[in-house]
Chains A and B, each alone.
Chain A
Amino acid sequence: MGNLSQVGDLMAKVILNEVRKHFGNVKALDGINLTIEEGLFVVLLGPSGCGKTTLMRCISGLEKLTDGKILFDDADVSNTAPKDRNVAMVFQSYAVWPHMKVRDNIAYPLKLKKVPKKEIEERVKWVAELLHISELLDRFPSQLSGGQRQRVAVARAIVHRPKVLLMDEPLSNLDALLRVRMRSELRKLHDQVKVTTVYVTHDQTEAMTMGDKIAVMNAGRIIQYGTPEEIYRRPKTIFVAGFVGSPQMNFLPMKVTSSGNQFFAENFGLRIPLRTDPRKDRLTVGIRPEHIFLEQPGNSVSIGATVYFAEKLMSETVLHLMIDGDTTIVVKVPYDLSVEENDKMQVYVDLNRIHFFDPATGERIEL
């Protein structure tokens, strides 16, 4: 059985070159450039309507490109039919064929590839064990639960050694508990079979926990491509900074002032020293709720605030603090802090973990 588990021996590098897809006047994909390294688990993350599903359908061949190229390794597959691309897909609705038994659903891609009967049996057996569905093989899909159907869909997708495995929000139809479990199971499965995987989701937790790399998309473009850590630590734009992280990053509009050679970003009683001249009058300062502290960390500035509202999540408390007539910031604090509304308090912003953005373009500025 040793050779069976090497599903990824065919794994491909996927190169997207100026990929465009227009539906009438709508530019669903507006020039996508991306190289997905072989064997990686890459997540396409973005709000609904950002083009992530369209991009995945373009990779699968279900959608034809308006312009641009898609390469698997060195082969141009832009005009290849889906069946000849050697890809696999797990659909959001699972799309397990209702007129076939589970066994036939899984075996069908192999049958179409004219794999010998004996090998088909072996492979179905192997994948069924891998996904713990051996006892379901002789049932029809209508006799399965949603979670079981999903396992069948995944089994069908990896059984024929695809070059690229595509998953379109596969967890969104599961209940919350199962979703968390499948997250780790799918990720572990990928580590076992090592197939290049493209995973579409709008859920940042899924993206952060599952992806080797994340491509954050908005309005038909890829805004940032990097590891989850890069995306979290150095978001390239205000959009990425706001989309990744929970609760959302605080964005504060600030004025640039100077005294002598030292530049500051100032507003709301905050005075943040800048390392260099930003060459701008205004800045948007981004501070994550988890980087504001009740006690002074090393390099920080303090800000006076009034408690507006406290969300007690039991594992932690999320404070909404009024720092100005109509400006609030969100701060994550330990669950055992006892606060009342309208309490006055002092909080400290960690200066080492602060982000600066150009308010006009939304681009990150290193200062």
Chain B
Amino acid sequence: MKKFFYILACVAICLWFLGPLFFTFLASMTPSSDFYSMDKIFPSKLTFEHIYKLLVNLGGWRAMLVSVQVALIAIAISFAFGIPAGYAITRYIFRGKNMIKLVMLFTRSVPLVVIAVSLVTMYLRLNLADTMFGVALAHAAMVLPFVVLITSSIFSGVFVEYEEAGMIFGLSRFGAFLRITMPLALPGLAASAIFAFIMSWNEVFAASVLAITNRTLPAHILSTAMASPDYFKFAAGTIMAVPALIFIFIIRKYLISMWGISLK
């Protein structure tokens, strides 16, 4: 009896998450003739026509490339600052450490809408508006707190003795970090890079406000596909969701260690 409810709960949860995905994917591949036909729930055949049109004719492919570039720049910037900060939080004891950890999360507590106007004004002054770098900078600022917290939890999983042994046996402090700690932290860091990638990939508001011609995929979809027939909207949902799902699938093993949670 207990087992029955357990299975029931699993099925319910799976349906809750997979149901909408399934119908999104299905609708995105439904021929337009079938889509508005009242007597059909499931299409008679599947087609990639909408997705193809969205990518090629409606500029989706170009936006996707922008998205990838923005995400990569955002990762580079946030890791350049986040890795040293995460390392420092793990390895050193200093005054106000907990305060700093808390304050970093505050950056997420201010809704972007509130600062959007001043942000755009500043971007215009700095000639950053409507550039990929500008959007990437905003995304980097958004993911930085997470990168710091995630990398600090990854570094705390690398025993300090490994580094100390490196220093004893002929490496400098920085050398030990580079040759010992980094290789050991690499799988976790790669996972957190993918996590940062997904955050940037999915972010729509900053991307819409800060750029007009160099729009990332979600911003592009928001401005174009939303005015199109419904099956295009579903196609847009599909091309947004699939890369994120694939990446999450790749890093699923590391998600637990990234957040410092133990499931034992």
Contact = CB atoms under 8 A, between A and B. Distances in A.
Interface of A: 60-62, 81-83, 87-89, 91-93, 95, 97-99, 108-109, 112-113, 156, 160
A82 B184 contact: no
B162 interface: yes
B204 interface: no
B180 A91 contact: no
Nearest to B184: A99
Nearest to B163: A95
A88 B169 contact: yes
Nearest to B176: A83
A113 B165 CA distance: 15
Contacts of A88: 168-169
Interface string B160-203: 01101111111111000000100110000000000000000000
B36 interface: no
Given A93-B159, A98-B184, A99-B184, A62 B170 contact: no
Given A91-B161, A93-B159, A95-B159, A113 B170 contact: yes
By secondary structure, the B interface counts as helix
Contacts of A83: 167-172
A88 B170 CA distance: 10
Contact of A160 (B162, B165, B169, B172): B169
A99 B183 contact: yes
A192 B117 CA distance: 76
Nearest to B167: A82
A218 to B, nearest CB: 26
Q: Which of B170, B180, B184 has the most CB of A within 10 A?
A: B170
A99 B172 CA distance: 19
A307 B178 CA distance: 65
Given A97-B180, A98-B184, A99-B184, A62 B168 contact: yes
30 contacts: A60-B168, A61-B168, A62-B164, A62-B167, A62-B168, A81-B167, A82-B168, A83-B167, A83-B170, A83-B171, A83-B172, A88-B168, A89-B164, A89-B168, A91-B161, A91-B165, A93-B161, A95-B164, A97-B166, A97-B184, A98-B162, A98-B184, A108-B169, A108-B170, A109-B170, A112-B169, A112-B171, A156-B169, A160-B169, A160-B170
B173 to A, nearest CB: 8
Nearest to B166: A97
Interface string B228-261: 0000000000000000000000000000000000
Contacts of B171: 83, 112
Contacts of A81: 167, 172-173
A180 B41 CA distance: 75
B172 A89 contact: no
A97 B171 CA distance: 14
Given A60-B168, A81-B172, A97-B162, 14 more contacts: A62-B167, A81-B173, A82-B167, A82-B168, A88-B169, A91-B164, A95-B159, A97-B180, A97-B184, A99-B184, A108-B169, A109-B169, A156-B169, A160-B170
Contacts of B167: 61-62, 81-83
Nearest to A160: B169
A98 B172 CA distance: 19
A353 to B, nearest CB: 43
Contacts of B165: 89, 91, 95, 97
Given A97-B180, A98-B184, A99-B183, A87 B168 contact: yes
Contacts of B183: 99
Contacts of B169: 83, 88, 108-109, 112, 156, 160
Interface in B119-173: 159, 161-162, 164-173
Nearest to B170: A112
A108 B166 CA distance: 9
A99 B184 CA distance: 7
Nearest to A98: B184
Nearest to A168: B161
A161 to B, nearest CB: 12
Contacts of A92: 161
A109 B162 CA distance: 13
A91 B169 CA distance: 12
Nearest to B165: A95
A354 to B, nearest CB: 45
Contacts of B166: 97
Nearest to B186: A99
Contacts of A61: 167-168
Q: Which of B164, B172, B183 has the most CB of A within 10 A?
A: B164
**Which 6 pairs of residues, A with B, have the shortest CB-CB distance?**
A112-B170, A95-B161, A109-B169, A95-B165, A82-B167, A89-B168
B35 to A, nearest CB: 53
B227 to A, nearest CB: 53
B177 to A, nearest CB: 13
A302 B47 CA distance: 105
B140 to A, nearest CB: 29
Contacts of A89: 164-165, 168
A56 B44 CA distance: 77
Contacts of B161: 91-93, 95
Contacts of B180: 97
Contacts of B164: 62, 82, 89, 91, 95
Nearest to A89: B168
A70 to B, nearest CB: 15
A216 B84 CA distance: 41
B178 to A, nearest CB: 13
Contacts of B159: 93, 95
A135 B168 CA distance: 26
A313 B8 CA distance: 60
A81 B172 CA distance: 8
Contacts of A99: 183-184
